[in-house]
């Protein structure tokens, strides 16, 4: 069999395999909500999203007065940036993470405590640019 003919069969098989894998992996991620997080920022945000979100008593008034709802905070937990230099990852019993992002078109920095059973929002600080 000529080399070009073998190469043609290989390419056809490879294309069919890629198409099948694309459909299988797409189906898996949409049905089960599976995410592939390999970087530290993605892994921390996924961990914070996976637990119920609660608010510290000191933050309750600020959230209601600033017109921030849980959708804004959950969106920040999906697209924000974890600032590891400002976070306390060694704290016990709850690790503390600073997440920066945009809320209502303002740059904000939120402090979350990652406890065993819940994610607690401790503070919100807006940048003054």
Place of tokens 């993470």: 97
Whether 9 shows a pLDDT value over 70: the answer reads: yes
Whether 30 shows a pLDDT value over 60: the answer reads: no
Give me the residue spans of the domains in the chain: 1-34, 40-126
Task: Name the nearest CA neighbour of 104 among 68, 53, 63.
Answer: 68
- Structural fold of domain 40-126: YaeB-like fold (3.30.2310)
The maximal CA–CA distance of the chain, rounded, in angstroms, is 77
**Mean pLDDT over residues 41-59, rounded?**
88
Gap between the Cα atoms of 127 and 108, Å rounded: 6
Residue 22: per-residue pLDDT: 84
Residue 95: per-residue pLDDT: 92
């Amino acid at each position: 069999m000529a080399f070009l003919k073998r190469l043609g069969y290989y390419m056809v098989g490879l294309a069919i395999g890629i198409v099948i894998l694309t459909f299988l992996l797409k189906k898996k991620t949409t049905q089960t909500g599976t995410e592939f997080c390999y970087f530290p920022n993605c892994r921390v945000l996924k961990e914070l999203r996976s637990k119920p979100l609660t608010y510290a008593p000191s933050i309750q008034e600020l959230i209601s007065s600033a017109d921030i709802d849980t959708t804004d905070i959950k969106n920040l937990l999906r697209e924000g940036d974890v600032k590891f230099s400002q976070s306390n990852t060694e704290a016990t019993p709850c690790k503390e993470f600073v997440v920066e992002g945009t809320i209502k078109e303002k740059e904000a920095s939120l402090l979350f405590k990652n406890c065993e059973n819940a994610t607690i929002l401790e503070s919100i600080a807006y940048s003054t640019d």
